[in-house]
């Protein structure tokens, strides 16, 4: 397929302004004639739904939680980047742009990233105006801290609850529009398919999760802000409910899926503690501002940390990456942790952990200051591990955290299905092969508050849409397919639980398509996943009925999708014969174990097309050109 990214011409600094001027407008009176469906009410969805409604469009907004306030965005801890340069430490839009392109290992579109850096400054103004309580300095000015992959302090934060505070801002904007009648909210309603009429996205089929009623909703355009798919690995830092269903079903209706294998493994999570654990907990990257990462120099050293003298400790990030130290980007810090653990120097009961130590910072700043900065994170750590991080170093280990892949979108955030827009973590757009910390919130809010509201108008003004109604064949057949699938899941009555399939898939994904990938392992994954999928459809047991709240049924639908997506991830990882960012192929590494890119062969966005249940997906390529940032080996030394 020919992928037209619609990147505007002209100097990078002027592309977005020029594009905004050239986009068609819908006049205020005409906006009332259009309706838009927004699936998702996390930061991306809530900001988009509220803004579209403020502009005058009729909006229907859907989420599977009981309230938009419970979207996974609420979990975000550390902060949100913006090139405000309040610290006067050398930051600029250009530097944020450069850091993000480099951080993504040169696998993101320059034009998108530049626009993101430009818009970052507006986001902070918008959120402050909403009353988001960002941390402030003693004198009342907004405070900043540093995140990985940057040598400036540009991260705005609200203690360890930045996502929660930002979501409250977006949620209030959304609630205002719900109360005004501009947005109709459908909580506990899950999108199970996309309705495509005459090649355009015109609606969704959704299931009321309380009554089980399946219903079609029609509109002039559909927006998916449905989050990431890290839970394909079963264990991840994502909320348990996060899933791929909305984007996967849209993929099967024709939306291309980009870079599915680009997964972010976050270096700073509480280590796995047992076979039956169902969730992993993030310890925010912000902790690496003050915490120092180390392991014993000696293999198998089991002494408690306070008995290991300074000279016998290896502060390996500071040693290997002196310019960035403990704030090396996530992919690099994760791999370094794996390397020391593989070398037999890991800590904790199973040797799969490294220390994150605050002793120096407490000595320098005092315990109160550290409590002020990270109090809730320390408390969370103590509750989960029963260890006091003010007294002993935390133990951390990498875990699946974020998915850079997602549905392919052009510069206007429109997928390959006209009328289907994708925002936030659900699209592939801005982070290349590795997202820098504090950039997901920035992207979700840039998409929802500042980009989509312009670009969707251009589509609606030019689309010449016919009236769609629920008696049309495409609507009836899509609804029929959803009902049939629900009944099929319930009728299998096999012997294995949904969770047991999910756990098995997750382990396979982690082993074969996780932090280190090899051609041999990926081929094994591609062979084993279809067999597991086959068994799922023969042997899964979904108790209960479809006419009630049935969490096993919800999970079964999502796991069925993960069982297809997982295979695509392995295929994507196998075809990309290079290492870049979070995609580390053991065959492609430098002598000192760093990722080795192959720009001649792989400087492109991979976009996969669904070809049917038993057919191999088809790959299209969108070449990436770098005119403003020089392609170079990424170094944080
Ligand atoms: C523990 C943790 C901490 C993080 N901390 C940070 C941080 O400090 N800074 C940062 O920049 N990023 C952080 N991130 C990443 C960031 O939080 C997410 O990438 C971001 O919040 C995603 O927002 P979203 O709006 O795209 O999706 P989400 O917040 O995941 O929202 C998805 C929405 O879609 C709805 N939905 C999904 N599927 C369906 C369906 N089929 N039908 C109906 N509704 C559906 C859900 O109900 C929900 O409303 C963190 C991530 C984690 C896991």
Q: What pLDDT digit, counting tens, does each position of 231-251 carry? A: 999 999 999 999 999 999 999
pLDDT at 180: 98
What's the first-to-final CA gap in the chain, in angstroms? 40
598-606: long-range contacts (C-beta < 8 A, 24 or more apart)?
599/106, 599/631, 601/577, 602/576, 602/577, 602/578, 603/106, 603/107, 603/631, 605/3, 605/107, 605/109, 605/258, 605/259, 605/408, 605/428, 606/258, 606/259, 606/572, 606/575, 606/576
Query: Which tens digits make up the pLDDT trace of 36-48?
Result: 999 999 999 999 9
Give the chain's largest Cα–Cα span: 75
Atom of ligand 1 nearest to the CA of 439: 11
Kindly give the distance from the C-alpha atom of residue 81 to the centroid of ligand 1, in angstroms, as a whole number: 16
Mean pLDDT of the chain: 96
Query: Which tens digits make up the pLDDT trace of 270-279?
Result: 999 888 899 9
Pocket test for ligand 1, best of 163, 246, 280, 329 (most atoms within 8 A of CB): 163
Whole-Å CA distances, 624 to 5, 102, 354, 464, 602: 10, 14, 37, 32, 9
Residue 368 scores a pLDDT above 90: yes
| Rounded-to-integer distance, Cα 386 and Cα 276, Å | 19
Task: Confirm whether 585 is a catalytic residue.
Answer: no
In 3D space, the residue among 398, 347, 353 whose CA is nearest the CA of residue 510 turns out to be 398
Kindly give the distance from the C-alpha atom of residue 393 to the centroid of ligand 1, in angstroms, as a whole number: 29
Whole-Å CA distances, 227 to 401, 527, 573, 599: 12, 28, 21, 29
pLDDT at 148: 84
For ligand 1, atom 8, the nearest C-alpha belongs to 78
> CA quadruple 119, 121, 125, 127: dihedral positive or negative?
positive
Pocket test for ligand 1, best of 267, 440, 445 (most atoms within 8 A of CB): 440
Residue 160 scores a pLDDT above 90: no
Q: Evaluate whether 7 touches 15 at the Cβ level (below 8 Å).
A: yes
Kindly give the distance from the C-alpha atom of residue 85 to the centroid of ligand 1, in angstroms, as a whole number: 27
- Give 221-258 as a 3 state SS string: EEEECCCCCHHHHCCCCCCCCCCCHHHHHHHHCCCCEE
What confidence category does residue 444 fall into, taking pLDDT thresholds of 50, 70 and 90?
Answer: very high
How many other CB atoms sit within 10 Å of the CB of residue 87? 15
In 3D space, the residue among 188, 272, 241, 263 whose CA is nearest the CA of residue 74 turns out to be 241
Tokens (6 digits) for 169: 């801002």
Query: Which tens digits make up the pLDDT trace of 308-332?
Result: 999 999 999 999 999 999 999 889 9
pLDDT at 2: 86
Taking the mean position of all CA atoms in its chain, how far away is CA 325?
25
CA atoms within 13 A on the CB side of 432: 31
Query: Which tens digits make up the pLDDT trace of 96-128?
Result: 999 999 999 999 999 999 999 999 999 999 999
For ligand 1, atom 38, the nearest C-alpha belongs to 226
pLDDT at 276: 85
| Rounded-to-integer distance, Cα 585 and Cα 576, Å | 9
In 3D space, the residue among 107, 87, 109 whose CA is nearest the CA of residue 155 turns out to be 87
| Rounded-to-integer distance, Cα 279 and Cα 282, Å | 10
pLDDT at 401: 96
Kindly give the distance from the C-alpha atom of residue 42 to the centroid of ligand 1, in angstroms, as a whole number: 6
pLDDT at 637: 85
Atom of ligand 1 nearest to the CA of 45: 25
In 3D space, the residue among 189, 158, 182 whose CA is nearest the CA of residue 78 turns out to be 158
Among candidate residues 145, 154, 202, 330, the one labeled active-site is 330
Q: At what angle do helices 551-575 and 498-513 cross, to 10 degrees?
A: 20
Question: Which residues lie with the beta carbon below 6 Å from any ligand 1 atom?
Answer: 39-45, 62-65, 71-73, 75-80, 162-163, 190-191, 225-228, 237-238, 242, 245-246, 282, 401-402, 424-426, 438-441, 444
Kindly give the distance from the C-alpha atom of residue 183 to the centroid of ligand 1, in angstroms, as a whole number: 20
For ligand 1, atom 6, the nearest C-alpha belongs to 76
Taking the mean position of all CA atoms in its chain, how far away is CA 488?
31
Kindly give the distance from the C-alpha atom of residue 73 to the centroid of ligand 1, in angstroms, as a whole number: 4
Q: Are strands 420-422 and 263-269 parallel, antiparallel or unpaired?
A: unpaired
Say what the pTM is.
0.97
Q: Are strands 183-186 and 58-62 parallel, antiparallel or unpaired?
A: parallel
């Amino acid at each position: 397929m020919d992928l037209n990214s619609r990147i505007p011409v002209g100097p990078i600094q002027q592309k977005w302004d020029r594009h905004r001027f050239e986009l068609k407008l819908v006049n205020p009176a005409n906006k009332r004639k259009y309706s838009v469906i927004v699936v998702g009410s996390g930061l991306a969805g809530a900001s988009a739904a509220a803004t579209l409604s403020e502009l005058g469009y009729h909006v229907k907004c859907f989420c599977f939680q009981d309230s938009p306030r419970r979207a996974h965005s609420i979990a975000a801890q550390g902060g949100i980047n913006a090139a405000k340069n309040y610290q006067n430490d050398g930051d600029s839009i250009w530097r944020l742009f450069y850091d993000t392109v480099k951080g993504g290992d040169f696998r993101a579109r320059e034009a998108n990233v530049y626009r993101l850096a430009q818009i970052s400054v507006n986001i902070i103004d918008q959120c402050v105006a909403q009353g988001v309580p960002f941390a402030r300095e003693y004198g009342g000015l907004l405070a900043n801290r540093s995140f990985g992959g940057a040598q400036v302090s540009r991260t705005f934060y609200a203690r360890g609850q930045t996502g929660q505070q930002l979501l409250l801002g977006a949620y209030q904007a959304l609630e205002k529009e719900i109360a005004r009648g501009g947005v109709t909210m459908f909580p506990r309603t899950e999108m199970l398919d996309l309705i495509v009429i005459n090649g355009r996205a015109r609606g969704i089929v959704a299931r009321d999760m309380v009554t089980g009623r399946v219903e079609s909703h029609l509109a002039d355009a559909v927006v998916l802000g449905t989050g990431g798919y890290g839970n394909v690995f079963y264990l991840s830092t994502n909320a348990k409910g996060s899933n791929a269903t909305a984007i996967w079903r849209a993929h099967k209706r024709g939306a291309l899926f980009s870079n599915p294998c680009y997964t972010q493994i976050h270096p700073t999570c509480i280590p796995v503690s047992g076979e039956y654990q169902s969730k992993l907990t993030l310890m925010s990257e912000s902790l690496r501002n003050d915490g120092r990462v180390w392991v014993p120099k000696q293999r198998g050293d089991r002494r408690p940390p306070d008995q290991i003298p300074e000279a016998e400790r290896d502060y390996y990030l500071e040693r290997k990456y002196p310019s960035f130290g403990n704030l090396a980007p996530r992919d690099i810090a994760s791999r370094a942790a794996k390397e020391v653990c593989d070398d037999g120097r890991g800590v904790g009961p199973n040797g799969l952990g490294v220390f994150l130590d605050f002793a120096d910072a407490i000595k320098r700043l005092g315990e109160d200051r550290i409590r002020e900065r990270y109090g809730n994170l320390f408390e969370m750590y103590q509750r989960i591990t029963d260890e006091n991080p003010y007294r002993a170093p935390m133990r951390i280990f990498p875990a699946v955290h974020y998915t850079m892949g997602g549905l392919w979108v052009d510069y206007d955030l429109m997928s390959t299905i006209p009328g289907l827009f994708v925002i936030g973590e659900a699209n592939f757009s801005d982070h290349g092969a590795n997202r820098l910390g504090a950039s997901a919130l920035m992207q979700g809010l840039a998409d929802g508050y500042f980009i989509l509201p312009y670009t969707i108008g251009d589509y609606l003004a030019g689309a010449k849409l016919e009236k769609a109604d629920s008696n049309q064949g495409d609507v009836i057949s899509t609804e029929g397919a959803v009902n049939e699938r629900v009944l099929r899941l319930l009728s299998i009555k096999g012997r294995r639980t949904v969770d047991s399939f999910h756990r098995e898939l997750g382990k396979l994904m982690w082993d074969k398509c996780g932090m280190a990938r090899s051609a041999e392992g990926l081929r094994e994954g591609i062979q084993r996943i279809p067999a597991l999928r086959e068994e799922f459809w023969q042997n899964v047991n979904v108790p209960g009925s479809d006419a009630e709240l049935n969490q096993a049924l919800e999970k079964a639908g999502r796991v069925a999708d993960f069982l297809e997506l997982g295979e695509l991830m392995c295929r994507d990882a196998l075809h990309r014969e290079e290492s870049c960012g979070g995609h580390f192929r053991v065959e492609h590494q430098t002598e000192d174990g760093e990722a080795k890119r192959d720009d001649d062969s792989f400087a492109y966005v991979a976009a996969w097309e669904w070809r049917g249940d038993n057919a191999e997906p088809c790959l299209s390529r969108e070449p990436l050109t770098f005119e403003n940032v020089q392609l170079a080996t990424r170094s944080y030394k």
